[in-house]
Structure 1
Amino acid sequence: MSNQIIVTTGIYDAIKETLRRKKVSIHEEKRLATELRNARQVLRRDLPADIVTVERKVTLKDHTLDFEHEYIFVSSTREKLKKNKYSILSDIALAVVGYKVGDIIDWPFKGGNRKIEILKVEAWEE
Structure 2
Amino acid sequence: MTALPPITVSTLDRDRLYALLEKHRGDEEVVDHLYDELDRARYLAPDAMPDTVVRLNSRARFLHEDSGKTHELVLCLPTEVGAGEDRLSILSPVGAALLGLGVGDTIEWPSKGKTLHLTLIAVAPA
42, 45, 51: which one aligns with 1:43: 45
Per-residue Cα deviation, 1:16-46 (whole angstroms, up to 9, x for no partner): 34544353343x4553333222211111111
Stretches of structure 2 that go unaligned for 5 or more consecutive residues are none
Q: Look up the match of 1:76.
A: 78
User: For residues 60 and 81 of structure 1, do their structure 2 counterparts lie closer, same or farther at Cα, with a shift above 3 Å needed?
Assistant: farther
Paired residue secondary structure (1:37): helix
Cα RMSD of the aligned pairs, angstroms, is: 2.4
26, 34, 37: which one aligns with 1:23: 26
Equivalents in 2 of 1:31, 1:109: separation in Å?
10
Among the aligned pairs, what percent are the same residue? 24
Equivalents in 2 of 1:40, 1:95: separation in Å?
15
User: For residues 85 and 30 of structure 1, do their structure 2 counterparts lie closer, same or farther at Cα, with a shift above 3 Å needed?
Assistant: closer
User: For residues 106 and 81 of structure 1, do their structure 2 counterparts lie closer, same or farther at Cα, with a shift above 3 Å needed?
Assistant: farther
